[in-house]
Amino acid sequence: MIYLIIIILIFIILFLLLHLIIYYKNLKDIVQYTKDLLNAKYSSRILKKTKGMLANLIENLNALAEKLEEKKSISGGKEELLNIFFEEMKEGFVLTRLSGEIIQANRSIQKIFGEKAFQSGKIIQELIINREFIEFTNKIPDKKIEFMELELPDLGKTFIVSRFYLESQQWFIYLFNDITDAKNLKRIKADFITNLSHELRTPLTAIKGYLEALDDPDLDKVNRERFVKIVRENIERLTNIVSDLLVLSDVERQERKLNIEKIDLNELIQEVISLFRKTAEEKGLYLNFSPVSIPTYSGDRFLIQQLLINLVSNGIRFTEKGGVEVSAKYEKDKFYITVSDTGIGIPSEEIPRIFERFYTVDKARSRTQGGTGLGLSIVKHIVQLHQGEIKVESRLRQGSKFTVILPDLTPTS
């Protein structure tokens, strides 16, 4: 009997011991689990192998880990999103500590100032951009957002720099917004209005002056006829400016749609040449074009005609002996139209400017020949509208050659 009791007791002790071992093992797992959570390893889980209080604790810890994991993935996603946003944005972005030490700078800022300029660890005040910028970065933050206009003549750029102060982190965010184009546009608009006023005032002043002179009853017949001729010429000049301006404003409209149709370039060039045949003959100049076999071009007939008129008219106006030759060819899916003359030529340093509105190499000469200084601006826009390009080769007193290259715009179906 006593043996039986001893055996039962041994069994009970063994059973309790086993439970204790399992309990201890579970407790050890839980301690390791909490360590994982502390180390932000939120994805690990623990299997519920027991019942009772320990099971409740494991259940609660698993629920907590799930929540933490979800939060981590959201904030990780947010961080990634912010990083992509800052890296890809076209504004320059620099993050610094209160001391000015750079924490991060994005790709745009490196593109502007070079890869090494805004390296992390450098001090923003020590990047000698200019005095105003240093003063700006040295300012004690009083408002949350501050601005400055940063002009960098060496780079030919102007920026609006905004500085945001993140009080909670004691960080500064600098944003560099490139406003060069907007500034240039403002200047171009202002220049255009000044030029236009000047261009209109000159003939208007002449008209006013000569009309007053014509009022004189004692004016002799010869002078009267001369003055009337001058008034007429100036009215014609005003008309030319206004009609060129109308064409220019039409081709400059960004949303302007091309009226694409099939054009026989040989026919169109011949048509334009016939408009100038008489003028060329009067000046004793040749005006040649030899038709070639080329495919039909798809483009805006009216605009291509305007382009040709401007180039041929310039060729004749700026040539005193010899003449003008027009040619066309089709090569590697592109149409080439060339207008070359044996005229006065263009000084090489002036070539980049001749496409500007109202720009003329010799103002007096251009005016007496009925020029407005708008013709080549119109040509440039027409070429751009047709996705083409224009090239100029010129030698003083030897002549000029304008080559228009137009891609084949025929829709491929």
Q: Which is nearer to ligand ADP, 75 or 368 (CB)?
A: 368
361, 393, 405, 407: which one binds ligand ADP (CB under 6 A):
361
Measured in whole angstroms, the distance separating CA 248 from the mean position of its chain's CA atoms is 22
Q: Which is nearer to ligand ADP, 345 or 388 (CB)?
A: 345
Mask for 371-410, x = binds ligand ADP (CB under 6 A): xxxxxxx----------------------x----------
- Smallest distance from the beta carbon of 406 to ligand ADP, in angstroms? 19
Residue whose C-alpha is closest to residue 315's, from 402, 389, 234, 209:
402
Q: Which stretch binds ligand ADP (CB under 6 A): 55-63, 100-108, 271-279, 336-344?
A: 336-344
241, 344, 383, 406: which one binds ligand ADP (CB under 6 A):
344
Report if residue 354 touches ligand ADP, rule: CB under 6 A: yes
Q: Which is nearer to ligand ADP, 69 or 250 (CB)?
A: 250
Amino acid at 286: Y
> What tokens appear for 291 in the block?
């038709």
- Smallest distance from the beta carbon of 324 to ligand ADP, in angstroms? 8
Q: Which is nearer to ligand ADP, 244 or 300 (CB)?
A: 244
Report if residue 300 touches ligand ADP, rule: CB under 6 A: no
Report if residue 346 touches ligand ADP, rule: CB under 6 A: yes
- Smallest distance from the beta carbon of 387 to ligand ADP, in angstroms? 21
Q: Which is nearer to ligand ADP, 299 or 373 (CB)?
A: 373
The answer to whether 141 and 172 have CB atoms below 8 angstroms apart is yes
- Distance set, CA 140 to CA 128, 173, 370 (Å): 19, 14, 62
- Smallest distance from the beta carbon of 214 to ligand ADP, in angstroms? 28
Taking CB under 6 A as the criterion, which residues in 129-148 touch ligand ADP? Answer: none
Q: Which stretch binds ligand ADP (CB under 6 A): 72-80, 254-262, 341-349, 383-391?
A: 341-349
Q: Which is nearer to ligand ADP, 234 or 314 (CB)?
A: 314
> For helices 221-252 and 375-385, what crossing angle results, to 10°?
20
26, 137, 158, 366: which one binds ligand ADP (CB under 6 A):
366
Q: Which is nearer to ligand ADP, 58 or 311 (CB)?
A: 311
Q: Which is nearer to ligand ADP, 65 or 241 (CB)?
A: 241
- Smallest distance from the beta carbon of 199 to ligand ADP, in angstroms? 11
- Smallest distance from the beta carbon of 310 to ligand ADP, in angstroms? 6
Please give the size of the binding site for ligand ADP, defined by CB under 6 A. Answer: 23
- Smallest distance from the beta carbon of 321 to ligand ADP, in angstroms? 13
The answer to whether 150 and 176 have CB atoms below 8 angstroms apart is yes
Q: Which is nearer to ligand ADP, 36 or 252 (CB)?
A: 252
Report if residue 276 touches ligand ADP, rule: CB under 6 A: no
92, 299, 323, 343: which one binds ligand ADP (CB under 6 A):
343
Taking CB under 6 A as the criterion, which residues in 307-326 touch ligand ADP? Answer: 310, 314-315, 318
- Smallest distance from the beta carbon of 273 to ligand ADP, in angstroms? 15
Secondary structure (H, E, C), the chain: CHHHHHHHHHHHHHHHHHHHHHHHHHHHHHHHHHHHHHCCCCCCCCCCCCCCHHHHHHHHHHHHHHHHHHHHHHHHHHHHHHHHHHHHCCCEEEEEECCCEEEEECHHHHHHHCCCCCCCCCEHHHCCCCHHHHHHHHCCCCCCEEEEEEEECCCCEEEEEEEEEECCCCEEEEEEEECHHHHHHHHHHHHHHHHHHHHHHHHHHHHHHHHHHHCCCCCCHHHHHHHHHHHHHHHHHHHHHHHHHHHHHHHHCCCCCCCEEEECHHHHHHHHHHHHHHHHHHCCCEEEECCCCCCCEEEEHHHHHHHHHHHHHHHHHCCCCCEEEEEEEEECCEEEEEEEECCCCCCHHHHHHCCCCCCCCCHHHHHHCCCCCCHHHHHHHHHHHCCCEEEEEEECCCEEEEEEEEECCCCCC
Binding site for ligand ADP (CB under 6 A): 310, 314-315, 318, 341, 343-346, 354, 359-362, 366, 371-377, 400
